[in-house]
Every structure is written in structure tokens, then in C-alpha cells.
Amino acid sequence: MATEEYSEGGSAFQFHPLDQFIVKPLFGDGPVSWYTPTNVTLWMAIALLAIVAVFVLGSRGRAIIPTRLQSVGELLYGFIYKMVEDVTGKDGVKYFPYIMSLFLFILFSNYLALIPMSYSPTSMIAVTVILGFGVFIAITILGFVKNGPAFLGLFWMSDAPAFLRPIIAIIEIISYFVRPVSLSIRLAGNIAAGHVVLKVFATFAAAAIISPAAILGIIAIYGLEILVCGIQAYVFTILTCVYLKDALHPAH
Amino acid sequence: MATETTDVAGVCVDAGGSALGMPQLCADWMPNQIFWLVITLIAVYFVMSRVALPRISAVLAERSGTITNDIAAAEELKNKAAQAEAAYDQALLDARAEANKIVAEAKAEIQAELDVELQKADAQIAAKTAESEAAIAEIREGAVKSVTEVAKATAKELVAAMGGTADAKTITAAVTARMKG
């Protein structure tokens, strides 16, 4: 039915750039219930295995002079550790394993999604919303546990002129609640958009005349995506650190 | 067309297997993703916090310890090398001073020997000179005597040739007087 419709249009192209995000069960063809192993499960599991490969198998030797894989793990460790320490201060270091896990999951999911025919869990709103709101809720709870009601001082600019303070407080509260939304939409939007663009170029590559241009386009966008994948993981992580710093030291 | 979607495909996929709208927004699939995400995150967290991160931090600590120790050892070796160099320089200076001393001694010794030899040679030369002078004087004396005799003989012959007779005494006196003059 659908194919008829496309061929009636007389176009050689069949645009289904969003089909790559369809969730399919791995086994059989049944409905997708909450526990069904799907392609999402598969690629998350691959990300997990990749992380294990780099960080557990790679550092197996515990070598003073690291192997290549161990150096990769150490570089990532040092990078995130320094970020957490620089942004949140010494008392934020105990949350480093959480932030590291988050960063690695996003980073590996992003990059594994660049493998052709793969699936990108981080392009799914449901996934990034859980990540973003998870960070948000955890940090809000942490802020109240650490500081008690003083955490609300985050919204009350004591430096500002008195008549401006309520207005600033409203703006601060709005911006505070927008944080998880921006975190999750930014990540999912970037990754999904990149994959859609790649798919569109790939579709154009089917036509002989424009295929060289389309392939060049794919190469260019792919290069861009390599940057975007790293940057989005980095941005998510550093914003998490910034929010964590707010929770630990709410005073402006 | 949407009414013809099969039950198997669900509400997010049309009959051709293509997505209806954005799959990201399909509520049917969300619980599945969330469930597996939570499982994966917990797994990643346990792997990282239990195994990987302690191991890497131990390796990094050990490495920085090793580096510190190595740097300290290198510093020590460097000091030792500096000491050795100073000792070497000192030895070189000593050796040079010793060599200078030996050279000076040798020079003095040679000079002394040379002086002695020179004196000896001078003495020999003086002796030879005196001897030679004596011989020359003797020769000269001999020559004077011979000349006197020759002169006397010649004078006698000359006198005789000119027809005179001269006794030896007169001739001798005349020759002696001439030779003095």
C-alpha cells in the first residue's frame, strides 16, 4: 500500500529517514513490551561491552607503562576526573564514578551509533529524558540533603537590588526547571538530526547523477557527526558537573 | 491508510514497515527503552565503580609514585656524577701540577749537568790552548834560531863571494845586530 503510494508519486527516492529509529524486537516479530529485548537493548549492551573492553580488559595488565587501550581508558579517566575536580571542587570528587558512568554511556552510545546499520539509543527522547531528569532529580535531592532549605538560596540573589530579587528568583526557578529539558532535548536532537541528515544523503546517493555529491555530503556530515558525538557527551557531562556544583555550593 | 496498520506493527509503524511520525515520540516503545537504559546504566556504574575506576586510579597513583622515585633517583645519580666530575677535575689539576714540578726538576738537573760539562769543556779548551801556544812559541823560537843560522851562513858565503874573508865572530856579531834592528 505504502509502496504504491511512493511509486505513484513518480519519484525514484523513498524517503524514510526516520525508519532507522524504529524499535524492533530482536527475536520474533511480536509487540514491544517493556522487557522485550530489542535493538535498543542490543546496542546498549554493545556499548556496555565496549566500555568493559576498554576499561576492564584494557587495564587488565595494570601496567606502569600502559598499553594503548589502557592509555585510552586512563586518558578518559583523567579527563573526566579533572573536569569534575575543576568544576565542582574537591567535595564533588566522590560523585565522580556516577558522572564517569554517565559520560561513558553517552560517549560510547554516540560513537557506536556512527557504525553503519547500527542503532543510536541516545537519539531517543525517552533515553535522554531519563538521563537528563535522572541527573536533575538526583542533584536536586542532593542539594536539599546537603544544604537543607539553604539550597533555595540558589534562586535568591542576595547581591541584587531588593526589588529585582523576586523577578530574578522567578527567572532562576524557570531556568532551573528547564535544565533537564535542555539537557535531554539537546542530546537527542543533535544525535537524531545528524542521523536523519546522513540518511537523507544516503537516499540521494541512490541516484546516479547526484550520487558523487551525495557521497561527499555523507563524508562531510559524518566528519561533523564525529565531532558532535564527542561534544554532546562532553556538554552533557560538564553541565552535569556545573549543576552538581550548584547543588554542593548553592550560594552565588 | 493508517486504519490498515496491522496489530503486529503497532501504532507507531505503518503497514509498509515505515515509521509513522517520529519513532522517538512513540509512547509504545518508551517503557522498553527506559527499562533497558536503567539496566545498562546500573551495569556501567557497577563495572566502573567496582572494577575499572579503582584499578585505574591505583595504576595512576602507582605510576606517579614510580615517577617521583625515579626522579629522586635520577637527582641522586646526577649529584654523584657531579661529584665524580669534580673529583676528576681535581685529579687532573693535581696531575698537571705534578707534571710541571717534574718538568722543572728535570730542567734543573739537566742545567746542572750542562754547567758541569761546560766547565769541564772550558777547562779542556784552556789546557789545549795553552799547549798550542807553548808549541807555537817553541816553533817560533826554533824558526828565529834557524833564520839566524841561515843568515850567518848566507852572510859568510856572501862575504867570501865578494872576496873578503870574515871570521865567524864578526859575522855573528853583525848578523845579531841586524836581526835586532
Average per-residue pLDDT for chain B: 87
Q: Which residues contact B63 (CB under 8 A, 6 or more apart)?
A: A64
Burial group, residue A192, by CB count within 10 angstroms (0-12, 13-18, 19+): buried
Cα-flanking dihedrals φ and ψ of residue A38, to 5°? -125, -175
Query: What does the pLDDT look like over B126-158, one tens digit per residue?
Result: 999 999 999 999 999 998 888 888 888 888 888
- The interface pTM score, or ipTM, of the predicted complex is 0.86
Chain B hits for A190, Cβ within 8 Å: none
Query: What does the pLDDT look like over B6-53, one tens digit per residue?
Result: 444 456 777 777 777 788 888 888 888 899 999 999 999 999 999 999
Question: By the CB < 8 Å criterion, does B177 face chain A?
Answer: no
Q: Name the least confident of A140-144, A179-183, A200-204, B63-67.
A: A200-204
- How far apart are the C-alpha atoms of A18 and B23, rounded to whole Å? 7
Domain ranges of chain B: 2-16+27-180
Which amino acid, A101? S
SS3 B19: strand
Query: Which one of B29, B42, B46 makes the best mutation probe of the A interface by having the most chain A beta carbons within 10 Å?
Result: B29
Q: For position B108, what pLDDT does the model report?
A: 96
Grid cell at residue A43: 546496542
Q: Is the pLDDT score of A247 beyond 70?
A: yes
Grid cell at residue A16: 524514510
Cα-flanking dihedrals φ and ψ of residue B19, to 5°? -75, 140
* Residues 8 through 47 of chain B touching chain A, CB cutoff 8 Å: 8, 10, 12-19, 21-26, 28-41, 43-45, 47
Strand partners, B13: B19
A109 secondary structure, DSSP code = H
- Angle (CA) B71-B73-B76 rounded to 5° is 110
% chain A with pLDDT above 70 = 94
Band of residue A163 on the pLDDT scale cut at 50, 70, 90 = confident
Q: Bigger pLDDT: B115 or A36? A: B115
Q: For position B4, what pLDDT does the model report?
A: 40
Q: For position A81, what pLDDT does the model report?
A: 94
* Residues 90 through 149 of chain B touching chain A, CB cutoff 8 Å: none
The C-alpha of A92 sits at a distance from chain B's nearest C-alpha, in angstroms, of: 15
Q: How many CB pairs under 8 A join A and B?
A: 156
CB contact under 8 A, A127 and B49: no
Secondary structure element (H or E) that encloses residue B2, with its range: none
Query: What does the pLDDT look like over A233-246, one tens digit per residue?
Result: 999 999 999 999 98
Q: Which residues contact A207 (CB under 8 A, 6 or more apart)?
A: A12, A13, A214
Q: Which residue of B has its CA nearest to A97?
A: B49
Q: Find out whether A20 and A199 touch, Cβ atoms under 8 Å.
A: yes
Residue B172 CB-half CA count within 13 A: 5
Average per-residue pLDDT for chain A: 87
Average pLDDT over residues B154-170: 79
Q: Name the least confident of A40-49, A157-166, B82-91, B160-169.
A: B160-169
Work out the number of other CB atoms within 10 angstroms of the CB of residue A4.
9
Biggest CA pair distance of chain A? 68
Q: Find out whether A110 and A191 touch, Cβ atoms under 8 Å.
A: yes
Work out the number of other CB atoms within 10 angstroms of the CB of residue B132.
10
Band of residue A6 on the pLDDT scale cut at 50, 70, 90 = very low
The radius of gyration computed from the CA coordinates of chain B, to the nearest angstrom, equals 67
Average pLDDT over residues A66-75: 90
Cα-Cα-Cα-Cα torsion A134, A139, A140, A141, nearest 10 degrees, comes to: 90
Separation of CA A139 from chain center? 18
- How far apart are the C-alpha atoms of A231 and A227, rounded to whole Å? 6
Band of residue A103 on the pLDDT scale cut at 50, 70, 90 = very high
Separation of CA B146 from chain center? 78
Q: Is the pLDDT score of A13 beyond 70?
A: no
Chain B hits for A131, Cβ within 8 Å: 37
Q: For position B10, what pLDDT does the model report?
A: 57
Q: Which residue of B has its CA nearest to A104?
A: B44
Which amino acid, B135? A
Query: Nearest by CB to A32, which of B22, B32, B37?
Result: B32
Q: For position B104, what pLDDT does the model report?
A: 96
Q: Is the pLDDT score of A230 beyond 80?
A: yes
Question: By the CB < 8 Å criterion, does B53 face chain A?
Answer: yes
Report pTM. 0.72
